[in-house]
Amino acid sequence: MNDANNKWIGKRTIRPDGADKVTGQATFGADTTMPGMIWGKVLRSPHAHANIRSIDTSKAESLPGVKAVITSADVTNYSPEKSVILGIQDMRWMTRNVMAREKALFHGHPVAAVAATSQKIADQACKLIEVDYEVLPWVVEIDDAIKSDAPILHEFIEFEGKPSNIAGTLEHKKGDVQTGFEEADVIVERSFTTRPVHQGYIEPHACLVSVSADGRATIWSSSQGQFMVRAMTSMLTDIPQSSIRAIPAEIGGGFGGKTIVYLEPLATILSKKSGRPVKMVMSREEVMRASGPTSGSKSTVKMGIKKDGSIVAAQGTYYLQAGALPGSPIRGAVGCAFAPYDIPNVHALGYDVVSNRSKVAAYRAPGAPIGAFAVECVIDEISEAIGMDPLEVRLKNAAKEGTQAAHGPVYPRIGYYETVEAALSHPHREIPLGKFQGRGVASGFWFNAGGESSSQVNITEDGNVVVTTGHPDIGGSRASIANITAELLGIDYKRVSVLIGDTATIGYSNLTGGSRVLFASGMAVTDSTEKVIVSLKERAAKIWDIDPEAVDWEDGYARPAGANAGMFDPLSLEELAERATETGGPIGAGSQLNTAGAEGGFATHMCDVEVDIDLGIVRIIRYTSFQDVGRAVHPSYVEGQLQGGAAQGIGWALNEEYIYDSEGRVDNPGFLDYRMPVCSDLPMLDTVMIEVPNPKHPQGVRGVGEVPLVPPLAAIRNAIYDALGIRFYGLPMSPPVVLEALEQGEAAE
């Protein structure tokens, strides 16, 4: 598709849901009600680790107004011995996450749930449930969890032949690092820590479920995938998928955190038991205590470089917190860490470590920011050691088309090199810095993802267009789909409505996650629209009584392909729609694809900080993201991904962290003490979109949502070094930490 001629792709069109969102009409997870609806509430463990000897629900059940009480006995069980894979999740862990089974594994772990006629009665009922706990020793930090005498969470998990909190490993190898390091002129090895941080979506988890007398469930909920909600709920309730209709609400942010269920299966079981529709809404405190943050980590990275700037060997070892049940994103950490570079010898190893914390969930490029943080910090140090600009070092070692990545693939055409080039020549780099100001850079990679998507494109009787896809729109994907459809059909984008179907009205579509939505649904919608255009041409051919091959589709009209085809007045989409009945019936086409070819995304970030040395506060004064975005189908929402990711990275680097008290409880389960960036913390966030079209996508789309969270952690850390001459090896670089480092620095002088 020729760029210059594009009418809608690349345009900043008004999003289809814009008016609903600015007027309060949009229906989010907590906004639906039903006649007869009652309220569900979860009772949560007050202990970080405890055997559940017994649960007595009789007092709660006899409280007037209580309609149902459930425990793990009501949730489908899967033996811990055998994996039951659903997508990237394992249902033997999921059943234990939505409701504690043998043990309560973290403070806030659900142990029972009630449904009652008011929220107040539901609260009271929870207090009447008697749980007999045997409190066990607990562990929340990685170092403690991997000690030989650590309390073991799961006896059935073994590592090196013994019960262990190490639940899995992942290793990537390329070349031979030993030989590589021998060639190096400079070798730097450093250890790092990062703290767990929450996705921080502003909308808490919420759902409404109604199970009818014949056992059919309708679920309204806010999630990153209505089909995931259906499948997981089915597997946890034994209701067949055909009897569950999952309707996606508008979603108030997810960033990966809404790719699994917490409430939906419980509300379904409560509704089935009570015969009433059940609504459940988490408080912020419940979100913080019991939904998944991303992992905290510890890592060691060693890199060897020659004086000419070539990196010859790289080794990384990562330990990631999984939370209480296995499944930390080691793949992202280990696979993405070295992915921007063409390094001949690489060895990356990751460990999945369980501890008494809530189970981690995906967070934007899961694991990759952790992987990149250590690597990008070490690159800053090896660059300094050989006296070369860190961007020049990145340029010299940049992975390109044909590079064999340590995690397996040989790259096709990618745009990493271009992001570094763009950073090198950007005016940001020339702006002079003042006292206690510094500039840092870092890069990052994310795999991106394809997979299943369905779409339906229907032409209405009045000649307009309704497109249905199966992915919750989390950041403006409907606007991009409208642009693509309007472009292909050659009509005004305002004539295209884009809707998100529910599980009963559109074919299976995988999660909104992994930066896959526009890649995959763009392909499915292109396929459907192209089928519609074929049908439109056939209809015009029928009317003109010529060969369909002799019809062109252009700017919303069927036209004879040339003089030989005959002399006919063009037929518009409206005219063809009007004559649909006589030309073959309704006009529309569906497409159900398993998409492939979602090539990786790369970014380089440049950040300027200013440190208040009296208060230890690091302020971001300038920030520019350079990213290969493939093709910006809707530039505003691509920029939005870059800006939002940078802001989350700034929070992760400077302030956000889970703090645990001496009882193994989260001590800061709210926005008061878990401090996410506010508006006055940030400058305008500049973005440079580099378009190296993905050759495997009809519009050249690459996923753009994940990569922006990968570089910021190290870019900020490197900038602080430039400002203060102090290198930090742990996050967050919060005011007390910075002050302490400044004081130690003074003491050393």
Contact footprint for ligand FES (CB under 6 A):
202, 253
CB 220, CB 233: distance < 8 Å: no
Query: CB-based contacts of 738: which residues, under 8 Å, 6+ apart?
Result: 611, 616, 617, 618, 720
Asked if residue 127 binds other proteins (CB under 8 A), the reply is no
Least distance between other proteins and beta carbon 146 (Å): 32
Angstrom CA distances, 584 to 98, 540, 581, stand at 50, 11, 6
Nearest approach in angstroms of CB 203 to ligand FES is 8
Least distance (Å) between residue 620 CB and other proteins: 10
Q: Mask of contacts with other proteins, 251-280, x by CB under 8 A?
A: xxxxx-------------------------
Element at 84 (helix H, strand E): none
Nearer to other proteins, 684 or 748 (CB): 684
Residue 255 binds which of other proteins, ligand FES, none (CB < 5-8 A, kind-dependent): other proteins
| Cα 387 → chain centroid | 37
Q: Tell me the three state secondary structure of residue 595.
A: strand
Q: What is the smallest separation between the CB atom of 364 and ligand FES, expressed in angstroms?
A: 13
Q: Site for other proteins (CB under 8 A): which residue of 57, 199, 259, 299?
A: 199
- Residues 630, 189: Cα–Cα separation, whole Å: 35
- Alpha-carbon distance of 661 to 290, in angstroms, equals 16
What number of other Cβ atoms are within 10 A of residue 689's Cβ? 18
Residue among 452, 167, 96, 471 at smallest CA distance from 329: 167
Contact, 69 vs 61, CB < 8 A?
A: yes
The item of other proteins, ligand FES, none sharing an interface with residue 684, based on CB under 5 to 8 Å by kind, is other proteins
* Residue 648: contacted member of ligand FES, other proteins, none (CB under 5 to 8 Å, by partner type): other proteins
Chain position carrying tokens 């090539």: 599
Minimum distance of ligand FES from residue 682's CB (angstroms): 13
* Closest to 230 (Cα-Cα) out of 503, 455, 468: 503
Under the binding rule (CB under 8 A), the answer on residue 215 touching other proteins is: no
The tokens describing 5, both together, are 């001629």
Q: Which residues of 544-578 are buried (b: 16+ CB within 10 A; e: fewer)?
A: bebebebbbbeebbbbbbeeebeeeeebebbbbbe
Of 65 and 253, nearer to ligand FES (C-beta) is 253
Q: Please identify, using beta-carbon distances, which residue of 24 and 585 lies nearer to other proteins.
A: 24
Helix axes 91-98, 226-237, angle to 10 degrees: 80
CA distance 545 to 375: 66
Using Cβ positions, the residue closest to ligand FES within the complex turns out to be: 202
Kindly state the smallest distance separating residue 253's Cβ from ligand FES, in Å.
5
Considering only CA atoms, give the Rg of the chain: 27
CB of 506 to other proteins, least distance (A): 21
Is the Cβ of residue 630 or residue 644 nearer to ligand FES in the bound state?
644
Amino acid letter, residue 79: S
Nearest residue (CB) to ligand FES, 201 versus 602? 201
Count interface residues toward other proteins (CB under 8 A).
59
Any idea what DSSP says for residue 293?
-
Figure out which of the listed residues 90, 203, 421, 610 binds other proteins, where binding follows CB under 8 A: 203
Separation between Cα atoms, residue 19 and residue 11, nearest integer Å: 18
User: 567 in helix, strand or coil?
Assistant: coil
Residues 6+ apart with CB under 8 A from 368: 329, 332, 333, 335, 336, 337, 444, 445, 446, 706, 709, 710
User: Tokens 């992994």 appear where?
Assistant: 514
Which residue, 87 or 253, has its beta carbon nearer to ligand FES?
Answer: 253
> Residue 7 Cβ, how far from other proteins at the closest point, in Å?
19
Q: Which does 28 bind (CB under 5 to 8 A by kind): other proteins, ligand FES, none?
A: other proteins
Least distance CB 123 / other proteins (angstroms): 12
C-beta of 463 vs 708, nearer to other proteins: 708
Could you say which residues in the range 285-304 bind other proteins, by CB under 8 A? Answer: 285
Does position 636 interact with other proteins (CB under 8 A)? The reply is yes
CB of 156 vs other proteins, minimal distance in Å: 37
Under the criterion CB under 8 A, does residue 626 sit at the interface with other proteins? Answer: no
Among 60, 303, 647, 716, binds other proteins (CB under 8 A): 647
User: Closer to other proteins at the Cβ: 24 or 562?
Assistant: 24
Distance between start and end Cα atoms, the chain: 62
Told to check if 202 binds other proteins by CB under 8 A, we report: yes
**45: its two tokens:** 């463990």
Q: Does 22 bind other proteins (CB under 8 A)?
A: yes
Give the one residue of 10, 80, 204, 711 binding other proteins; rule: CB under 8 A: 204
User: Considering beta carbons, is residue 200 or 588 the nearer one to other proteins?
Assistant: 200
Token pair belonging to 714: 């190290």
Stretch that binds other proteins, among 126-134, 228-236, 641-649, 738-746 (CB under 8 A): 641-649
Residue ranges that bind other proteins, judged by CB under 8 A: 12, 14-15, 17-28, 30-31, 33, 120, 199-204, 250-255, 281, 283-285, 474-476, 636-637, 639-640, 643-648, 670-672, 676-680, 682, 684-685
